[in-house]
């Protein structure tokens, strides 16, 4: 099989991460998500918790503590993004893999054998997934859907210049409630096999 990369950008509660995980098993290649956070933390010599899910936060409460001399937040977020970018490009160029979120769609769009996928779902299904699969209370789920979507949109817009669900930058956009986690992962695996498998 040729070397390839898949990026998965997702709406909160659409189970995009679970799909990436299952796809990783299906194709026998790594998927990277929070591992990227750990690597960023290591390279910047910061605790993981302070870098954690930069993409999903609208505020950076750690910053005044970490940078007491008043370095501005945007600047620090830019440094984190730059380090993250280097890690994503390194991972993608080293071997076939699946990358979840963190503007990897934007970073890899021009790379050879890359497929950009957006996973979404109707609001009611996302709510159901949050409660039944991710174990949240309904009110917590409602709050998280709004706040994480908003933070991810802002983050993506800032660094990629477009919204995460823009078809112009995606090769496939799929409602995960159509085929479920396993069905969606199998469908994506089939596309990969068709494009990069032995013929």
Q: Which residues bind its own copies (CB under 8 A)?
A: 115, 118, 120, 122, 165, 167-168, 170-175, 178-179, 183, 187, 190-191, 194-195
Assigned token pair, 47:
């605790």
User: Residue 138 Cβ, how far from its own copies at the closest point, in Å?
Assistant: 21
User: Residue 174 Cβ, how far from its own copies at the closest point, in Å?
Assistant: 5
Cα–chain-centroid distance for residue 189? 18
User: Residue 153 Cβ, how far from its own copies at the closest point, in Å?
Assistant: 14
Assigned token pair, 40:
């960023």
- For its own copies, which is the closer residue by CB, 41 or 101? 101
- For its own copies, which is the closer residue by CB, 76 or 170? 170
- For its own copies, which is the closer residue by CB, 86 or 183? 183
Where helices occur in the chain by DSSP H, the ranges are: 16-27, 34-44, 48-51, 63-66, 73-94, 104-108, 123-132, 138-160, 176-196
User: Residue 160 Cβ, how far from its own copies at the closest point, in Å?
Assistant: 16
Nearest to 76 by CA among 88, 62, 90: 62
């Amino acid at each position: 099989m040729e070397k390839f990369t898949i990026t998965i950008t997702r709406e909160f509660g659409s189970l995009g991460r679970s799909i990436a995980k299952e796809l990783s098993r299906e194709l026998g290649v790594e998927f990277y998500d929070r591992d990227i956070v750990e690597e960023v933390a290591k390279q910047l010599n910061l605790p993981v918790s302070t870098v954690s899910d930069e993409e999903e936060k609208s505020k950076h409460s750690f910053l005044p503590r970490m940078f007491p001399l008043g370095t501005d937040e945007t600047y620090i977020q830019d440094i984190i993004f730059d380090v993250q970018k280097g890690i994503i490009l390194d991972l993608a160029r080293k071997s076939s893999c699946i990358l979840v979120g963190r503007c990897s769609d934007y970073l890899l769009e021009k790379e050879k054998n890359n497929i950009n996928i957006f996973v979404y779902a109707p609001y009611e299904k996302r709510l159901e997934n949050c409660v039944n699969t991710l174990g949240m209370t309904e009110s917590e789920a409602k709050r998280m859907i709004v706040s994480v979507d908003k933070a991810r949109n802002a983050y993506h817009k800032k660094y990629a210049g477009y919204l995460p669900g823009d078809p112009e930058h995606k090769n496939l956009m799929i409602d995960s409630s159509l085929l479920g986690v396993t069905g969606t992962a199998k469908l994506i695996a089939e596309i990969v096999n068709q494009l990069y498998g032995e013929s």
